[in-house]
Amino acid sequence: MNKMTVKDVEVRGKRVLVRVDFNVPLDEKSGAITDDNRIRASLPTIKYLIGQGAKVILMSHLGRPKGKVVDELRLAVVAQRLSGILGQSVGVATDCIGAEVEELVASLRSGDVLLLENLRFHPEEETGDASFAQALARLGDIFVNDAFGAAHRAHASISVITSYLPSVAGFLLEKEIENLGNILENPARPFASLLGGAKISDKISMLENIMGKVDFVLIGGGMAATFLKAKSCETGLSLIETEMLDTAARLTERAEKERTCLLLPVDVVVADELSNDAKVEVVPVEKIPKDKRIVDMGPQTISHFSKELRNCKTIFWNGPVGIYEIPQFARGTQEIATLLANLGVNTVIGGGSTAEVVNEMGLADKMSFVSTGGGASLEFLGGEKLPGVEALPDKAS
């Protein structure tokens, strides 16, 4: 990555304002953090800054409070978790800008860590408001962007603040760009992309960009239904993106022309309802009943996909291949995750729900790289420029 990083600036004794992505999943009922990997992923930068004697001021969003204070989305729970992991106290501010926060920042000593309140409690964060960015900038001497998961947002704390402070990348941002960039530019072959999740529309630019670069595209999950429908299969009650049918047909044709092997399920698990008590059956894709919906890949598909994946040297996986949240429909996703974890090749896992699956199954350490970015990793692999990265200065040549 040719961007300036924390290593390129002197931080000792300075107020270093770090944008992190602490947008962690919370338990709906208890509000407890269910996966703290995004917090852990920021530790290299945070620990480095503490070790260098900086005053560390962290800022993040959590959820989508839409410009209002939502008590359930306060960052205190994150500060508490970070403090436990770091083994040192982490202060929490009651807001992210203003006189009170400025006073709190002025009282920091070298090595202290302070977490500002949820940036998205202010509507100006998402509109990319310049005065809001300036108010944030008053809290620091240097800005570090380590929020890869939010780098695709042109928000005040991400791409606007860089106009007001010397700005550099953190270690997580650097690692993400290097790992994801490497599979785009220099993948060991054969290279497969395994895609699942509900919708094609979320992944379309990524699919278009990666199609000419991969040897295999394997499609599972809800999005497989639209591909099957485009091939005139009966898909029963499965969710179909009708506006994507032409796109699916065009991508199928393009794959043939470019000799990219595009694989769809040959059998699927179907159910009459989306519950763990649903009655399920396995059917070939030509025989999906009109009154059922696809909920997972079938065993033949799993073995067919596994056979191809075993020969690959680089695999990018994004999106569960079945309705993973319902245990009865999680088998395909679990088998794929277990397979990838044991292949010993370059396995790169997209963020969001795919990362959550891999973390929940305790397999993250066995993958080559698990991205912390859901939308951000898709946009990056879609060849789009990420505002958060673009806004950082290049390394001096």
* Positions that interact with ligand 3PG (CB under 6 A): 21, 23, 64, 149-150, 153, 374-375
Residue 32 CB-density burial (10 A; 0-12 exposed, 13-18 middle, 19+ buried) = exposed
Catalytic residue list contains 38: yes
Q: Which residues contact 228 (CB under 8 A, 6 or more apart)?
A: 235, 264, 265, 285, 288
The residue from 63, 67, 111, 375 that is catalytic is 375
Catalytic residue list contains 293: no
Q: Candidates 125-133, 276-284, 322-330, 371-379: pick the segment binding Mg ion (CB under 5 A).
A: 371-379
The residue from 38, 74, 292, 331 that is catalytic is 38
Q: Which one of ligand 3PG, Mg ion, none interacts with residue 74, CB within 5 to 8 A by kind?
A: none
Q: Candidates 35-43, 125-133, 244-252, 369-377: pick the segment binding Mg ion (CB under 5 A).
A: 369-377
The residue from 40, 199, 213, 313 that is catalytic is 199
Each residue 329-368 as x (binds Mg ion by CB under 5 A) or -, in order, gives: ----------------------------------------
Q: Which one of Mg ion, ligand 3PG, none interacts with residue 153, CB within 5 to 8 A by kind?
A: ligand 3PG
CB of 352 to Mg ion, least distance (A): 7
Catalytic residue list contains 199: yes
Closer residue to Mg ion (CB): 318 or 346: 318
Nearest to 380 by CA among 199, 191, 93, 182: 182
Rg (C-alpha) for the chain, rounded Å, is 22
Catalytic residue list contains 375: yes
Q: Candidates 133-141, 179-187, 207-215, 373-381: pick the segment binding Mg ion (CB under 5 A).
A: 373-381
As a whole number of angstroms, the distance between CA 341 and CA 330 comes to 17
Residue 259 CB-density burial (10 A; 0-12 exposed, 13-18 middle, 19+ buried) = exposed
Structure tokens at 105: 């920042």
Other Cβ atoms closer than 10 A to 258: 12
Residue 227 CB-density burial (10 A; 0-12 exposed, 13-18 middle, 19+ buried) = buried
Q: Which one of ligand 3PG, Mg ion, none interacts with residue 333, CB within 5 to 8 A by kind?
A: none
Closer residue to ligand 3PG (CB): 238 or 318: 318
> Is residue 25 a contact residue for Mg ion (CB under 5 A)?
no
Closer residue to Mg ion (CB): 49 or 355: 355
Q: Which one of Mg ion, ligand 3PG, none interacts with residue 21, CB within 5 to 8 A by kind?
A: ligand 3PG
Q: Which one of Mg ion, ligand 3PG, none interacts with residue 68, CB within 5 to 8 A by kind?
A: none
Classify 57 as helix, strand or coil: strand
Residue 339 in contact with residue 301, Cβ under 8 Å?
no
Residue 154 in contact with residue 387, Cβ under 8 Å?
yes
CB of 374 to ligand 3PG, least distance (A): 4
Q: Which one of ligand 3PG, Mg ion, none interacts with residue 23, CB within 5 to 8 A by kind?
A: ligand 3PG
| Strand blocks (E) in the chain | 15-19, 55-59, 90-92, 113-115, 142-145, 167-169, 191-195, 216-219, 261-263, 267-271, 280-284, 293-297, 314-318, 346-349, 369-370
Q: Which one of Mg ion, ligand 3PG, none interacts with residue 222, CB within 5 to 8 A by kind?
A: none
Count of helix runs (H) and strand runs (E) in the chain: 15, 15
As a whole number of angstroms, the distance between CA 329 and CA 276 comes to 8
Nearest to 60 by CA among 129, 131, 134, 155: 155
Closer residue to ligand 3PG (CB): 127 or 306: 127
For Mg ion, the binding residue among 111, 284, 375, 382 (CB under 5 A) is 375
Each residue 40-69 as x (binds Mg ion by CB under 5 A) or -, in order, gives: ------------------------------
Classify 211 as helix, strand or coil: helix
Give the residue numbers marked as catalytic: 38, 199, 352, 375
Q: Which residues bind Mg ion (CB under 5 A)?
A: 374-375
